[in-house]
Amino acid sequence: MSEFALAASVLLARPSDDAIFLVHRSASLRFMGGFVALPGGKVDPADTDIRYCAARELFEETGVLLGNTTVNPSDLRRAVLAGQAKVPDIAEELLQPAGRLITPPFSPMRFDTSFFVALLPPGQIAEVWPGELDSGEWWHIRDALNAWKRGELLLSPPTYSILELISDHRSHDWAGLLQRELDLVATRRVPPIWFSPGVRMIPLDCAGLPPTQFMNSFIVGTGPRILFDAGPADPGEQEALLEEAAGVQGVILTHHHPDHVGAAQRVRDELGIPVWSHFDAAGRLPGLTIDRFIDDGTILSLGELELHVLHTPGHAAGHLAFWEPKHRLLFASDLVSTVSSLIIAPDDGDLATYIASLHRIQELPVRLLLPSHGPPTTRGHALINRTLEHRARREEQLLVALAAGKRDIRELALELYRGSTEETLRLAELQIESGLIKLRREGRL
């Protein structure tokens, strides 16, 4: 079985003015929730093939039917959505293949998506019924791209890349063009992943423990550009990073952990750029030349982006996060993750300051939170809340276990993290130790 879920997306075109129909995904969706994207979805077991999947998704999501029916289309759509009817088979020529893309490894949910171009059949209208999607709209491609640049439209990265590729072309040419271009993208070691204007994500294998094996570096800026984190220790992954980061003005290390700094010296030497970090991180990186210290309150002007440096210790001393007010972006590094909870180990972490840092970033207006591990999320505040609740629950469990007479860290780990592997238990012991230090400092132990 493929490790990727098969999916189909449709570029629905209005041939009269070459507009494209874009849908707003509900924020509650696990994959790309809150983003504006193309209609489409995963292959159903009942789908006869990928083309049928595309036609079915298009009909379910927009009501546009690429075939004939004797039934009232709205009634048919209701019945299809309720699982009581099937979308009629479509005429092959109504869906033109337009290439494939595979979700890069930043996301635990990975899709092998086939794209198709469909021209809106005469007499039909596209209309979203709220549910998995909030709304849908026709866009002239240039207008959509300009709205994205102004920060008014949050396009999913593949949707943005596709719109750029087809922006000056007639809808009749989209399919052929995309097929050629997406084939080229597939050959690239690191595909272009744009989450916002001037924000490119570069997920690389940084040899962390799964599910945090991949770490997202970012190249940020619309004039001068800065690289956030240089993680990989593997020479091949380092090569990829060096290639993509050519031309940046500096590299900022968000903290000192190995999966964030593994390529820092090489990036400094081979690109000839300075390395910046917080003072407290620099002290934990012997042997690495840090050219400049940055701290809370520093503002980095990177073209149209203005990054506010936030010193957010707790996960690590000298941990930095970055907030961009215009597009309301928060580069959270390892304060939170969308794929796992993060370790607060007592040698360099501190649970109480970690929680204070979380409370601090919770106050910021954030539309898109970009973590180091896992996909960026439009529900940053919910994620921070969940993380705080998770910590509070763990503390409660710890107090209960202590009250029940458990005294030994191993005993506590076995109790609180029941059923865990030996590897997880070792990490759990570190978490528990951090929890005990916090309770002792607060006079609660």
Residues at the interface with Zn ion (CB under 5 A): 257, 334
237 versus 334: smaller Cβ distance to Zn ion: 334
Instruction: Look at residue 91 and give its three-state secondary structure.
Output: coil
Output the smallest distance, CB 374 to Zn ion, in A: 13
Nearer to Zn ion, 164 or 205 (CB): 205
Largest CA distance in the chain: 75
- Which tokens hold the place of 286? 């012997």
Q: Which is nearer to Zn ion, 41 or 349 (CB)?
A: 349
User: In this complex, which beta carbon is closest to Zn ion, that of residue 156 or of residue 212?
Assistant: 212
Q: Count Cβ atoms below 10 Å from residue 429 Cβ, excluding itself.
A: 18
Shortest Å, Cβ 209 to Zn ion: 11
- Report the distance separating Cα 40 and Cα 8, nearest Å: 5
Q: What is the C-alpha to C-alpha distance for residues 276 and 3, in angstroms, rounded to an integer?
A: 38
Which CB atom, from 100 or from 257, has the smaller least distance to Zn ion? 257
Q: How far is the CB of 342 from Zn ion (least distance, A)?
A: 7
The least distance separating Zn ion from the CB of residue 136, rounded to whole angstroms, comes to: 39
CB of residue 258 to Zn ion, shortest distance in Å: 9
Pinpoint the alpha helices (H) of 66-117.
Answer: 73-81
Q: Residue 200's closest CA among 142, 246, 237?
A: 246
Mark 333-362 as b/e (b = at least 16 C-beta within 10 Å). Answer: bbbbbbbeebbbbbebbbbebbbebbebbe
CB of 316 to Zn ion, least distance (A): 6
What's the CA gap between 322 and 121, in Å, rounded?
A: 47
Reduced to 3 states (helix: H, G, I; strand: E, B; else coil), residue 337 is coil
With tokens 């500096």, the residue in question is 250
Supply the minimum distance, in Å, between the C-beta of residue 315 and Zn ion.
6
User: In terms of CB distance, is 166 or 383 closer to Zn ion?
Assistant: 383
> Using CA atoms, how far apart are residues 264 and 258, in angstroms rounded to an integer?
10
Nearer to Zn ion, 319 or 394 (CB): 319
Q: With respect to Zn ion, which residue has the nearer C-beta, 200 or 319?
A: 319
Give the span between the Cα atoms of 440 and 116, in whole angstroms: 60
- Nearest-approach distance from CB 431 to Zn ion, in angstroms: 14
Structure tokens belonging to residue 163: 């719109």
What CA–CA distance (Å, rounded) separates 58 from 160?
19
